[in-house]
Amino acid sequence: MVSQNVVVPDATTGIITVSTVSNSSVFTPSAQKPPTAPGHISISKKKLLKSLEINGDQSQRLNSWVDSMRASSPTHLKSLPSTSSEEELNSWMKRHPSALDMFERIIEASRGKEIVMFLDYDGTLSPIVADPDRAFISSKMRRTVKKLAKCFPTSIVTGRCIDKVYSFVKLAELYYAGSHGMDIKGPTKGFSRYNKDKPSVLYQPAGDFLPMIDEAFKQLVEKTKSTPGAKVENNKFCLSVHFRCVDEKKWSELALKVRSVVKNYPTLKLSQGRKVFEIRPMIKWDKGKALEFLLESLGFDNSSDVFPIYIGDDRTDEDAFKVMDFLRRLVEWKQI
């Protein structure tokens, strides 16, 4: 189960982003309180990139990296200092109001517009689980997504490969953007009214990287096989090294192993999600670019009549949130 927060600086602009937060016992029942300390989950992009940098003082950066791994782990939230400032609480609530509390406002803002849904998979449509191969979507959630796709164009935007997600979801009427948006495929012909008169959507901007990704995958499997609990996942155009089941004492060792492989591939970049390392091609493409591509494919590029909603829970979803924020500002500018 997840609770949801929505970011709607101005509902009249018709842009909605929703972040999902795990209903862990760490959080209050309302799940609406701000982080217990500024930045305890969100780590700035600048700091993260610095901690993942391949060259230079390895020991110092490794410590920084492991610290960021701990900070992003919900098991460490309890030890952080609690918020004492009511002003800080109110400020956070203003920027991250409850999606459920603002449901009527969202409905009002969407009137007369074409809603387009973008959904992350892990942690949003499915629970976060120890074994990524068992992140199954519930029957109830599948029925909900199926109903949603009958009403609006609906896409799943995920770091997983399309084949893996499709094996979980099994809905041919959806748009799928796998590998963090680097593998895009439209609905099967005849299953969606939104692509009936349009050519099939298929886009793979990182196709040239496939041999390199496969090679790096084999090296990572070999390097990490001695680390109990580590799991390397081949997502076709990107790789994931899961450390959710790795003893925290082994995190530093695992980080070194992952970096030792990635440093041999200057055109691959390394980032960190929720207890997972992500290895991706160093191209100007991410979930945000995939969102733009899908909107354009649906005929909504530069349109003020579209009302996109993106729901996600991880750092890689922030690329899509940035695009949503840009679209909101563009709509505001057009209304001047």
* Secondary structure of 227-259 as H, E, C letters: CCCCEEEECCCCEEEECCCCCHHHHHHHHHHHH
End-to-end CA separation in angstroms for the chain: 41
Active-site residue, from 57, 67, 120, 197: 120
Which residues fall within 8 angstroms of residue 42, CB to CB, at 6 or more apart? 35, 315
Partners of residue 307 on adjacent β-strands: 115
Looking from the CA of 152 toward its CB, the CA atoms found within 13 Å total 20
325 is catalytic: no
Partners of residue 280 on adjacent β-strands: 269
| Nearest in space to 153 (alpha carbons), one of 272, 303, 328, 299 | 299
Question: Are the C-beta atoms of 78 and 26 separated by less than 8 Å?
Answer: yes
Q: Which two tokens stand for residue 169?
A: 């979801």
CA-to-CA distance for 13 and 25, rounded, in angstroms? 35
Question: Are the C-beta atoms of 180 and 286 separated by less than 8 Å?
Answer: yes
Distances (CA, A) of 203 to 14, 183, 187, 229, 280: 27, 6, 13, 34, 17
Distances (CA, A) of 28 to 11, 31, 67, 78, 317: 27, 5, 25, 11, 24
Return the SS3 of 197: coil
319 — phi, psi (to 5°)?
Answer: -60, -40
Strands, DSSP E only, in 73-174? 114-119, 154-157
Active-site positions read 120
